[in-house]
């Protein structure tokens, strides 16, 4: 993996056609969400980074509070959307949770069902725009559920996103209007559990998470 120079982020292509997530997420919503909303986060992230470089060259720090806030907002938006797209696949084809994911969900949340209920409650009760995030926390060495406002607020430092659900209205409003709970309950049909497992194993940096559970 190479470091990404300032101002050179690119919009990752969707890993499926616009209509692949029908009927859970309609093609028009997916197209606007990816091609307009995610694209704008990438563009604004690049602009922000270049503005920070310029500020450094000119040792002009008067815009720093705004630029750092923009960096957190647009950078987190870019990262979370990139995870969200690959977390999903055609309805009913995402399989079952991988053995590492399932073991850690059971160990911490008690059961997969409890985890799913807590995830749905987390997503459903985000105030305004935000995300439910299942992440691997590198300090606690376990999975953690977070309720994220906007893209960057309420984050627990050191948490790597594993499974994320976008509950900004732009993610569901054309089809579900104000029925966020309806969108969340049907969203489970899209979850690509192989991607979740792969992200979990990547976040643990090659450690053996199953062995860690056997105290």
**Residues binding Mn ion (CB under 5 A):** 166, 168
Q: Which residue is nearest to Mn ion (CB)?
A: 166
143 with 135: CB under 8 angstroms? yes
Residue 78 Cβ, how far from Mn ion at the closest point, in Å?
Answer: 11
* Closest by CA position to 112, among listed 80, 83, 134, 136: 134
Side-chain half-sphere of 100: how many Cα atoms within 13 Å?
23
Q: In what order do the strands lie in the sheet with 142-149?
A: 142-149, 130-137, 159-166
At closest approach, how far in Å is the CB of 129 from Mn ion? 8
Confirm if 131 and 167 have CB atoms less than 8 A apart.
yes
Q: Which residues contact 91 (CB under 8 A, 6 or more apart)?
A: 21, 22, 23, 24, 189, 190
Q: Give rounded-to-5 percent helix, strand, coil for the chain.
A: 55, 15, 35
Closest contact distance (angstroms) between CB of 168 and Mn ion is: 5
Q: How far is the CB of 215 from Mn ion (least distance, A)?
A: 39
Nearer to Mn ion, 151 or 199 (CB): 151
Structure tokens at 79: 């990262």
Residue with Cβ nearer Mn ion (166 or 197): 166
Which one, 41 or 115, has the nearer CB to Mn ion? Answer: 41
Pick the closer one to Mn ion by CB: 75 or 209.
75
Closest CB to Mn ion among residues 136, 168: 168
For residue 171, the minimal CB distance to Mn ion (Å) is 5
**Least gap, CB of 72 to Mn ion (angstroms):** 16
Which residue, 67 or 171, has its beta carbon nearer to Mn ion?
171
From residue 187, how far is each of 72, 92, 177, 213 by CA, in Å? 27, 10, 15, 29
What backbone torsions phi and psi does residue 174 show, to the nearest 5 degrees? -60, -40
């Amino acid at each position: 993996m190479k470091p990404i120079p300032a101002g050179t982020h690119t919009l990752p292509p969707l890993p499926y056609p616009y209509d692949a997530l029908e009927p859970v997420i309609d093609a028009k919503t997916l197209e606007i969400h990816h091609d307009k909303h995610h694209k704008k986060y990438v563009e604004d992230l690049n602009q922000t980074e270049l503005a920070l470089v310029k500020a450094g060259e000119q040792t002009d720090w008067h815009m720093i509070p705004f630029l750092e806030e923009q960096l957190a907002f647009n950078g987190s938006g870019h990262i979370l959307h990139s995870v969200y797209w690959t977390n999903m696949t055609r309805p009913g084809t995402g399989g079952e949770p991988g053995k590492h994911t399932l073991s850690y969900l059971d160990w911490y949340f008690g059961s997969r069902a409890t985890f799913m209920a807590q995830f749905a409650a987390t997503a459903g009760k985000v105030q305004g725009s935000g995300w439910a995030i299942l992440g691997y926390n590198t300090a606690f060495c376990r999975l953690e559920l977070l309720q994220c406002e906007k893209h960057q607020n309420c984050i627990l430092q050191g948490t790597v996103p594993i499974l994320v659900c976008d509950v900004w209205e732009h993610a569901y409003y054309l089809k579900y209007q104000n029925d966020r709970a309806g969108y969340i309950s049907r969203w489970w049909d899209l979850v690509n559990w192989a991607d979740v497992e792969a992200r979990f194993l990547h976040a643990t940096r090659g450690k053996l998470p199953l062995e860690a559970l056997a105290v």
